[in-house]
A and B are shown apart, each in its own frame.
Chain A
Amino acid sequence: EPEVTQTPSHQVTQMGQEVILRCVPISNHLYFYWYRQILGQKVEFLVSFYNNEISEKSEIFDDQFSVERPDGSNFTLKIRSTKLEDSAMYFCASSEGTDPTNTQYFGPGTRLTVL
């Protein structure tokens, strides 16, 4: 069964550094998402992406964050200058078709630790 994959599984970085989290969505999916889960808290929506542009973003997704689909398979989340409070599990998800209410399939997540 096709799966969403994410790399790396764990990223440790120093405060102020840039990080890029990578995701490979399921191949025929057209909607892509990033969520994050701070330890012990709920899963929070960051951004959705369709047709090479952002569809919706939350208030968390400020100017420090950006997303990109640099090629036909990868979907990346970049944090320009990481802060301690960016430490979290970051989940990528994708859904098929042009109906965004289709089921979202989640990747295994990248644990980001900012020191």
Chain B
Amino acid sequence: AQSVSQHNHHVILSEAASLELGCNYSYGGTVNLFWYVQYPGQHLQLLLKYFSGDPLVKGIKGFEAEFIKSKFSFNLRKPSVQWSDTAEYFCAVNAQDTNAGKSTFGDGTTLTVKP
């Protein structure tokens, strides 16, 4: 079974600071990786995803993530955060070699950006 670990539970940054949120997964096979964002009072939205190819993927709103297979990691980055990035961020994984598409989520990281 797959599992996901997000190291930072709560991150507080000032505007324009750089962001890196850690995500590590555990699974013996090939995975698809996702970052979702949940703004206060809103539903989960996909930020970016990785299935194959270039391990550096770019998503919406200036976010990017790098898949490092040897480290089982898929960290989320943004060079300069804005107050509007305040939200909960979830890393998720599903296995390519199953046929059910079940996604396993990390605990989430709450990002607070101070103006």
**Footprint of B on A, CB under 8 Å?**
31, 33, 35, 41-45, 48, 50, 55-56, 58, 91, 95, 100-109
Asked if B104 and A103 sit within 8 Å, CB to CB, the answer is no
B99 located at the interface, meaning its Cβ lies under 8 Å from any Cβ of chain A in the complex? yes
In the complex, the answer to whether B105 meets A42 with C-beta atoms within 8 Å is: yes
B residues sitting closer than 8 Å to A (CB atoms) are 32, 34, 36, 42-46, 49, 51, 90, 92, 94, 96, 98-108
Q: How far is the CB of A37 from chain B (nearest CB, A)?
A: 9
Residues of B within 8 A of A101 (CB): 32, 51, 94, 96, 101
Interface of B is mostly: loop
Contact B108 A42 (CB under 8 A): yes
Enumerate chain B residues within 8 angstroms of A41, measured Cβ to Cβ: 107
Output the nearest chain B residue to A43 by Cβ-Cβ distance.
B105
Query: Is the pair A44, B105 in contact by a Cβ cutoff of 8 Å?
Result: yes
